Chains A and B, each alone.
Chain A
Amino acid sequence: MEIRKRISDIISRKRTINAWYALVIAFFIILVIVPTLFVLTYAVTGWGEIQGQIFEEPADPTYTQVRVIGNGSFVSLSAPSIMDITDPEHLELSVQTNNSIEVVYTIYAVDGNETDIYYSVNSTHTQNGSAWVNVSSNSTHNEITHVGDVFQNITVLDSNGTFLASWEGDLHLRAGNEKPWDIIMDSLKFSFTIAAIVTVIDFVAGLPMAWMMVRKEFRGKKYLDTLIDMPLAIPTAALGFSTALFWAVTPGVDAWGSLSLVSSPMLLVILLHIVFSYPYMVRSLSAILHEIDINYEVAAQTLGAPPLTVARTITLPLFRAGLVTGIILCFARSLSETGGTMAALAMLTPYLSELAFPMDTGPTLIGAWKHAGGFEPQLAFTAMLLVILSLVLLVIVKIVIMRFKMPLRKVFPGPERLLSKGIFPKMKDWGALIFMVIILIIPSFFIISYVFTGDPVPVDWSAFWSAMGYSFLVAGVATVINLIFGVPLAIYIIRGKNHILTNILDVLVNVPLIVPTSALGISLGMFWGSMNVGWAIILVISSHLAFTFPLVVRNVAGALEELDPTYEETARTLGAKPMFVFRKVMYPSIKFSILAGAIMAFTRSLGETGATLSVVKSANTVPVYIVDLVKDGSYYPAALACLVLIIITFITMMIMGYIAKKEA
């Protein structure tokens, strides 16, 4: 007891508290903000590489004359130093033989630890002369993951298949005869177009839903409320797979109810991104709608305005803050998503194999390049652009929406009265509901249909559980560290005396939320890489730490803002030391927000792919495991893994919710 009192005395000393806050802020700056933005320094330190490797036209391949002589026969051919995997190469082979020989031309791609045959052609020659070797990409191995250094091998065998001679050399595979700059720009354009379209659709479809949730009472509202949040509980990699199963043209994959409609990568990615960004839009809009006093609407209606006019001229203009939040959240989520997009695009790849090159968004491009190894300037440059563009966009969205005078003044009494009555409001509500069911709910859970109606394949569960363990370890450690440092930081931001500092921190906290996670991963990897941190898991944890940190801080800060500081002050004057005040007065009021922040951080970490795949070449988390399975075409094991992951996530959330309820 005495010791506890002594300790609490020491903790409560002003100097200790200040030192603690300093430590927390230092943690935030060093472990979250600086690593997140570190990639920007590459513009200075790596400018030479950027100029050399990104803006320069790619070099033309040079050909080496190779002669392979064995047992009196020889083969000569000009072997290229670079090959575009999107363009077949024609190579002239000249064969001089005294016998029947076979020439095997093989390209080995080194993919992680495995060596794969990327391309192989066998030709038999019985007489002298020249022949064409048509080196085209192998349909199952035309993924971008094989871009990079590979080696090629020419082997000469006799008619009995006995080895005569061989030659080996290096070959650089590249994705198309484009400047990296063009590849990067294409992927960013793809990303931003998708994000913009998704945000607009989210708003148009989300507004009636938010309206319904706040302004209307109906049976089953509670369930609808839960249903909207469902997609957030499912890791995006699983969502991407499930959505693609439902919508996409996937030859050879049978699932009851599958539409097999979509063959455009962009449309598929848009459909996927709506699923996980729509809940954010509805939540942001309904939060602000909740704040808007209904009396304004009542007043306007009693003054003779039909409901549509009221909504347009009275409520919507008061909406801006919610709109800003909604748009930024949706845009940032769409821009950032990696795993689901990878899975969805991989599902389309078999169908689109004749399409020379799979489409990539910024984050999937980063993931692919990182996986292939090398590409450092390209990765840094792409991440840098993503960071800058997303931050600039954040500022622009904020300014534009707050300044923009919405063209809402004009009133159209006739049409608006008509649209406010009869069937139209019903159509709006039902439309919103149907949209939600078809676009959100069915695609999210479509995987269940596949698991029950698809063809079962044995599953390697040990790999799955080890991935699960890895994911839980990463999410758990990141969440705990976030709680230890995030809660005090939130307290400091809201209650701190130095308002200049608290305002700066308040803005900075949002940065990791806006920066796409794959860019964050690259940045973080560069930062720690420059400090020689070896262990992959530490890098993965610290990247997950960075992008989930704002979730904890934002939740707790939001609750603290609502909490009247006079309670804490009164407690102080009644003789309670700061630590006691936190435990007995502050904590009981904010514990649910702390829990909410922890759940959000945990589930987000559990579902994250982009940050993981960009900070290390490959890590054994569940979403990565799922994406890899989907890429390999092992759909059934992927679906089972998804289902188990969904169930575990739901159970985790339910347990946490139950604890919260019991505590209350």
Chain B
Amino acid sequence: MPGEKSASVEEIDVSAARKIAAGHRAQGNSLVTVLQDVQTEYGYLSGEVLEAVAEEMEVPFSQAYGLATFYSSFSLQPRGKHHICVCMGTACHVRGAANILEKLERDLGISSGETSEDLKHSLESVNCLGACALGPVVVVNDAYHGKVSSRDVDKIVADLE
């Protein structure tokens, strides 16, 4: 899903990213750590931000981009106001996680890995959240929902406002 280089029309202020990178660099921390904190700050990693971080860390832009696309917790696109994460671990799988994900895709009108155009929702599947006893698990903005059934999905979606 290599998107357009600039994800939004507005200029992105990269000064916060530079500051985070400089701070970590002084402590000898790695580029992965920097990108994590930068993503927390911006919600995602835009091309401008990646370029600024690379410059500050004195690594090639291509390496920063390579990292951002290798690791699945990095997002090159803005995430929705409500970020919904469906666990696809084995325990969840044998209890029907695939059906839950599909229902969410249908109900939200977006595929896994996408963000709705109005930036309200984004949907993601994760390979095991380590909450296996609760499977199937859906995490909405950091809140865990366990033993989710199709009917629970209706409730979860209805509560997203």
**Are A and B bound to each other?**
no
**B residues adjacent to A (C-beta < 8 A):** none
**A residues adjacent to B (C-beta < 8 A):** none
